[in-house]
Structure 1
């Protein structure tokens, strides 16, 4: 299945409906992208046992811990890093036409440069990924949670459907900021329900 899937990807991309825009291919998923998802699922299923054995070793756990503690920074900052480096490249020398031999030869250097920039950013932002102690948990109400989720999902669907331009980028920024404020800084909060038996067993708080 894996070999056959990879063999079909090329013709599907060349002959099928496949856009150069990543967002266009994702919403709704094009046939090549769906086939790629099946290939990846089959490959992970095939490699499940050896990967599990590898993850039982200390070196693998250390690598995963190191990368995992910075994954959110990588996810959030890799696109700005790519845009920044692309702008720098355009200022210093002309970029080869995408898909040409010169363009492909420049990709490894560009990828390494992006990784270095993202790594530098992660050294600063990793402190925000570390779990912070919660002294007094506060939870938004159900209504606030629903509104925050709706705002976040709405802008995500809009960008996936129509592409990322300046108005939608501003919309996404505003909706995400409001959602974060509602869930993290709202004054309309309630404490989580505590069973009566648990509450009776808890020692009285010091005054």
Structure 2
């Protein structure tokens, strides 16, 4: 699709870029915010105590709605597309796997560092002020719930060069091995009752979905007849019925999220087929200047919106409680009608925050001439520092201890990833950073 003639001067669309991927990524982020806005209910009971609940999850239709609303598999699919195109671009520029991994880790660690620092300060102040520990625990756990993504996506990014090679040489065998491994992990998990075993599927499930993104980047789904895509999507969705009734898995796809389970792989297959079927319509939408303007504006702030929307939502509710503002009883008609303006307010506030944090989402700068990235040892240590605290939050829930750990470890990871060393060949051209602005809008 040609976009040069209709693209505003301020928006440059690189050749070959799939704007539908940008649209899908923005849709996923905005839907996540909407779901969380409907999931957080805060009110004051008859005794004057603050109570919190989850109105959306209390609805009888909620489990079935997650078959459409659980879009994290699609998020990892478009992330796989982004990774494939970014890795191909990095290789064309002469960057190696270390350069690429360094750049991808920075894209995660820099935005997350600011959030962890702010949350550590906020939790420390709340603790010192004597806020009810039980209420603080509920709030902190909710605020930290999106951090699992940083751990899962970080793991997949570390393995992109390896998985891309496997996709290029043995695509179907790779997918098959990942499916078998995920099934075995779930079998052990549900057979033994040891939920922690399922954490292995942070790799197997999300790597499988990422491989679907690699296949999408290769054009597999464009080449597949539309009738076949429709049949595969229908079969995938239909297979969720026996999996969640006769099988051990929940019919609630949110419950299947952490640790991730096999149904999410099935959901990922269905979602990429649906996206491919809708591609012609969505491509026409993205040929309009208005759609591109919105998608690029939101997409360039994607990580900020994702990481900050829950802290800002809780802050808004806290201010309303403090000043005695209107707080409709959760699950009432009034409460449901106020979700749209609350959603718009939270999105607006995250955009304001992005004015101060925008530099954290920019691609890493190229090193000065004669310098190159730090050693693999430094990148490995930085990876542990960047992924460890979010993994701990995913497993244990956010509290003051792991908030402080994140506020220390992630900035340290950023520092390690920013170090450089003399190039082995002082006369050679400087190595470019793994990510460039042309690849930036496709990153998760």
Shared fold (TM-score, shorter chain, > 0.5): yes
Contact 1:82 1:114 in 2 (8 A): yes
Q: Cα distance 1:58–1:112, how it changes in 2: closer, same or farther (>3 A)?
A: closer
Moved over 6 A (4+): none
Aligned equivalent of 1:46: 277
Matches within 5 A, 1:54-133: 54-91=285-322, 92-97=325-330, 99-130=331-362
Number of residue pairs matched? 187
- TM-score where L is the length of structure 1: 0.68
Determine which structure has more spread, i.e. the larger CA radius of gyration: 1
Q: CA deviation at 1:38?
A: 4.6
Q: Distance in 2 between matches of 1:44 and 1:50?
A: 10
Unaligned stretches of 5+ residues in structure 1: 200-207
Deviation at 1:82, TM superposition (A): 1.2
State the TM-score, normalized to the length of structure 2: 0.36
Question: Displacement, 1:149?
Answer: 0.5
Does 1 or 2 have the higher relative contact order (CA < 8 Å, sep 6+)? 2
Among 412, 415, 423, the alignment partner of 1:181 is 415
**1:4-15 matches, cutoff 5 A:** 5=237
Task: Report the alpha carbon displacement of residue 46 of structure 1 after superposing the two structures with TM.
Answer: 1.7
Q: Which residue of 1 aligns with 2:374?
A: 140
* Distance change in 2, residues 1:127/1:168 (3 Å): closer
Q: Return the offset for 1:193.
A: 5.5
The partner residue of 1:27 within 229, 237, 258 is: 258
Q: Is the 8 A contact 2:250 2:256 kept in 1?
A: no
Cα 1:18–1:78, aligned 2, differ >3 Å: closer, same or farther?
same
Deviation of 1:113 after TM superposition, in Å, equals 1.4
Aligned counterpart in structure 1 of residue 399 of structure 2, from 161, 165, 175: 165
- Shift in Å, 1:147: 0.5
1:72-111 Cα offsets, whole Å, 9 max, x none, are 33233222211211212222244523x4434322211211
Q: Following the alignment from structure 1 to structure 2, what is the Cα–Cα distance between the partners of residues 89 and 25?
A: 33
Aligned equivalents of 2:276, 2:344: Cα separation in 1: 30
